[in-house]
Amino acid sequence: MRTITVGFLGCGNIGCGVWKLLNEFGEDIRHRAEVRFDIKRILVRDIHKKRDETVPEALLTTDPAAITDDPAIEMVLEFMGGEEPATQYMLRALEMGKTVVTANKMALALNWHLLQAAAEKHRSGLYYEAAVCGAIPVIRTTIDSLQSNRIEAMMGIVNGTTNYILTRMSQEGSAYADVLKEAQRLGLAEPDPTSDVEGFDAAYKLSILSSLAFHARVPFDVIYRQGISQVNAADIAYGKELGYTMKLLAIAKRQGNVIDARVHPTFIPNDHPLASVNGSFNAIFLHGHACDDMMLFGRGAGSAPTASAVVSDMLYAASRETPRHPTFHNENALAPGLRVTDDWHCSFYIRLSASDRPGVMAHITACLGNEGISIRNLVQRDAVASRAQIVLITHDAGERSLRQALSAIDSPDVRVESMIRVEGK
């Protein structure tokens, strides 16, 4: 039986979940994996804060060096969240030759190159299954089980908060602000919801996932990002009538040396597997040249689901003689020879409000036609505030051409109210 000494950086929701899982399930792990995890020290901000009463106060410290610099600690688990000081503490632990297991997507997405360089230099292990989609084993699936594939596309619901909000808006026809307020009251959205609702959280996760899928670092800052705070209940309702469900999707595609990586509200057909992923669940739908289509589904957040991924990484690390790192050139920039495009192709949903008079429709179709954009579906609804509501779906078109067409359409007679990308046909 091997014993591995462990230090925690942080002991909030996730840290307490890991503590609990190791206590409740440690015996099974000891039998099965012949390894015992001995938690030696836990870094906290406030020793006297109320937390799981089974965490002994004697293990708590406010000194990070008591974990990162203690030669008796072999494995450091990081649950602090945020870029700093988490990155510095992880770097220190890696420099000291310790294995680091992190649930921190922000620190990893922004500083992966530094963390990996330190891990390689000091032959330390760096593991991060819990950083992306909680309990869903998407990291291990991508780097292990799907190694035999060229992954060409990934589309994921990778943020539970926004999926919960969009699900309720869609089911109840409620306004964004009302559902957000209710989600905050229930503790399902943060008091400051910016990271979730503006798509930052999803973009960090997409940066990590797409880098692994495409074997090339896709830095966070090349990802196009649009959140859900401007989503209008009217668009969700019109989309539904036309057979679409709205989701905040993290999308990455690679064709040859061109990558397209984006997070934005997206319509998908109601019969697409991702359309039935509701509430705070996460799912990743991907396509590999050999495995074809595949979807992973599960809990993307929460104390126990995240602890499930952390403890699985601890066991994975414990089972390896030498640490394993991605083989791609991990710089904080796109690899030479690759290009990120902002001219992706998809269908588009467009809602316009227009003066109800002759020639207006001709103006709209001419502007689209001039950019080579063809209309697949068009409906005109009763006027709201004496302006006709026109909703249309295009055939596949380029983002840039679509934007050109929309600026040409926008005029005193026709206002562009919204544009939503459509994927997954």
* Footprint of ligand HSE (CB under 6 A): 159-161, 196, 201, 300-301
Q: How far is the CB of 306 from ligand HSE (least distance, A)?
A: 8
Q: How far is the CB of 294 from ligand HSE (least distance, A)?
A: 21
Q: How far is the CB of 138 from ligand HSE (least distance, A)?
A: 13
Q: Which residue, 228 or 268, is less far from ligand HSE as judged by CB?
A: 228
Q: Which residue, 250 or 318, is less far from ligand HSE as judged by CB?
A: 250
Q: Which residue, 78 or 417, is less far from ligand HSE as judged by CB?
A: 78
Contact call for residues 294 and 175 (beta carbons, < 8 A) = no
Give the helix/strand (H/E) hosting 178: helix 176-185
Spatial separation of the C-alpha atoms in residues 231 and 242, rounded to whole Å? 17
Q: Which residue, 22 or 133, is less far from ligand HSE as judged by CB?
A: 133
Spatial separation of the C-alpha atoms in residues 172 and 47, rounded to whole Å? 43
Contacts with 44 (C-beta within 8 Å, 6 or more apart), sequence order: 10, 11, 51, 60, 61, 62
**Of residues 110, 95, 99, the one with CA closest to residue 77:** 99
Q: How far is the CB of 177 from ligand HSE (least distance, A)?
A: 18
Spatial separation of the C-alpha atoms in residues 77 and 129, rounded to whole Å? 12
**Of residues 5, 84, 1, 66, the one with CA closest to residue 40:** 5
**How distant, in Å, are the alpha carbons of 172, 315, 357 from that of 99?**
47, 12, 69
Active site residue 181: no
- Give the N- to C-terminal CA distance of the chain in Å, as an integer: 52
Residue 225 class from Cβ within 10 Å (0-12 exposed, 13-18 middle, 19+ buried)?
middle
Spot the catalytic one: 105, 205, 247, 253. Answer: 205
Q: How far is the CB of 200 from ligand HSE (least distance, A)?
A: 10
β-bridge mates for residue 167, sequence order = none
Spatial separation of the C-alpha atoms in residues 268 and 368, rounded to whole Å? 22
Q: Which residue, 161 or 308, is less far from ligand HSE as judged by CB?
A: 161
Catalytic residue numbers read 205
